[in-house]
Amino acid sequence: MAITTLFSAAGAPGTTTTALAVALSWPRPVMLIDADPTASAPILAGWLKGQQPHSRSIVDLVIAQRHGQVAETLKAATLQLPNSNVSFMPGIQAVGQAASVAGLWPDLMPVLAGLDKAGIDVIIDAGRLSARYAPMAAISAADLAVLVTRSTLPAIVAARAWQPTIEAATDPSAFGLAIVGPGRPNPSDEIRRVLKLPILATMAFDPVNADVFAFGEDPARPVNPKNFNHSAMVQSARAAALALQQSASRRRAAIHTVSEGGLS
């Protein structure tokens, strides 16, 4: 059980779509947190089609932080995604709230780590690193810091430009890639060679079925030629969820073993 933070370097490679699809495929209960400081509310407006009021959010924890009650307020700040094991914490409602949330992470990350005792994992969608008030603390304190990127040359260049910043903030063993659309055009092995980073997961380039997660589209609509549950998008999400969960759990177990041995 562990914390996995997904983020992008630039552009819109599909970080939120990946985070949601992976969370819905996660092999155990998981909390999905919208930590994007741009206030776009993609899951409330997309997957949930605007039918869920923005009545609870990460801002509730900012208020609770003032009274030392972050842990006690955590559950109340989330809602359960229908037909899933995913509890979802919506993000901010206005960009002016981003600065306040930036100061929340030092207190929130230990609370999230404590969910391990309840058998709950955490996935954080941190948005773009280039955004103002990007939650670097949610990246540096995660068990896995996963840079989501396309396989295009501009995307790889952007990832390489941000790589020193990420590496300076995280343990090297925590940092890796999730590639959306491997081989379109650059193969995963080439990206691994250039960036010298492990590829922790890959997501299929499947825009029709990705729209189901991004916009709440009907998976049974006529333009979808495949059964949604057997689509490339869903199959890759299941594989990515398993790979990320196992990688994060292995890393946390290794850290625990070192700690138990009295090493630093």
Q: What are the tens digits of pLDDT across the range 119-163?
A: 999 999 999 999 999 999 999 999 999 999 999 999 999 999 999
| Token digits of residue 261 | 């041995």
Residue 170's φ and ψ, nearest 5 degrees, are -125, 160
> What residues have CB less than 8 Å from 28, skipping those under 6 apart?
1, 85, 119, 120, 121, 245
Walk me through the domains of the chain, giving residue ranges and CATH numbers.
Answer: 3-219+226-260 (3.40.50.300)
Classify strands 79-80 and 86-89 as parallel, antiparallel or unpaired. Answer: antiparallel
147: nearest Cα among 197, 194, 183: 197
The Cα–Cα gap between 124 and 140 comes to 12
pLDDT (tens digit per residue) in 22-64: 999 999 999 999 999 999 999 999 999 999 999 999 999 999 9
122: nearest Cα among 131, 113, 135, 130: 113
Q: Of all residues in the chain, what percent carry a pLDDT higher than 90?
A: 85
| Token digits of residue 8 | 């992008």
The Cα–Cα gap between 246 and 117 comes to 17
Q: How confident is the model at residue 222 (pLDDT cuts 50, 70, 90)?
A: low
pLDDT (average), residues 87-95: 97
Q: Is the pLDDT of residue 219 over 80?
A: no
Q: Is the pLDDT of residue 264 over 50?
A: no
Residues present in the chain in total:
264
pLDDT (average), residues 203-227: 81
pLDDT (tens digit per residue) in 94-103: 999 999 999 9
pLDDT at 261: 64
Q: At what angle do helices 15-24 and 207-215 cross, to 10 degrees?
A: 80
Tokens 């914490």 belong to: 89
| DSSP state at residue 44 | I
Q: How confident is the model at residue 224 (pLDDT cuts 50, 70, 90)?
A: low
> What residues have CB less than 8 Å from 136, skipping those under 6 apart?
129, 169
